[in-house]
Structure 1
C-alpha cells in the first residue's frame, strides 16, 4: 500500500500493484532525461502545463524505479495502466506534487 507521507503513489500495471516515489536518484534521472537545468526548472515547466505524454511516461518510470521497479520506458509502454492514460497522468502529477510538497 502506498504511503503519501513518504511521497508514494500506487500504480497498477497489468493488474499488479506497484508503489512509485520520486527519490533523489529518480529525480536526478528524470531531470537528465527531460533535459532540464534544475529541478526547479522541471517543476516550473510541469506547473505551466508545458509537458507531453513522453514527459508523463518519464515521470512514471522514474517514480516506479524509485519504488523498486526494474523496468524502463519500453517496459511501461507495454503495460496496461489501470484507469488508462488519465490515471497515469494523475499518478505522475501526484508524484511531482508529493516530491515537492512543503512538509514544514
Structure 2
C-alpha cells in the first residue's frame, strides 16, 4: 500500500506494481527538464490542465526511479500503464501533490 505521507503513489507498469515517489533532487531536475521556473509553475500546469504528455512521462519516470524502479523515460514511453493515459496523468499529479504536502 502506498504511504501518502512519504509521497508514495502506486502505479502498475507492464503488469508490475510499483511505489513511486519524488525526491527533492528529482523535483529540481524536473524543473530543469520541463523548463519551468519553479515548482509552483509545474503545479499550475496540472491545476489548469495545461500539462503535456511529456510532463506526465517525466514525473512518472522520476517517481518510479525514486521508488527504486530501474526504468528509462524511453522505456516508460513504450510501457503499458494500467488504466491508460488518464491513470498515468492522475498518478503524475498525485506524485507532485504528495511531494509538496506537509503532514498535519
Q: State TM-score, norm by structure 1.
A: 0.90
Q: How many Å apart are 1:57 and its aligned residue? A: 0.8
User: What secondary structure is seen at the aligned counterpart in 1 of 2:68?
Assistant: coil
1:1-104 matches, within 5 Å, as 1-104=1-104
Deviation per CA, 1:39-67: give whole Å up to 9, x if none.
Answer: 22222233222211111111111111111
Q: 1:26 touches 1:65 (CA, 8 Å); kept in 2?
A: no
Matched residue count: 104
Q: 1:13 touches 1:80 (CA, 8 Å); kept in 2?
A: yes
Q: How many Å apart are 1:70 and its aligned residue? A: 2.1
Task: Give structure 2 stretches of 5+ with no counterpart.
Answer: none
Q: Which runs of 4+ in 1 moved over 3 A?
A: none
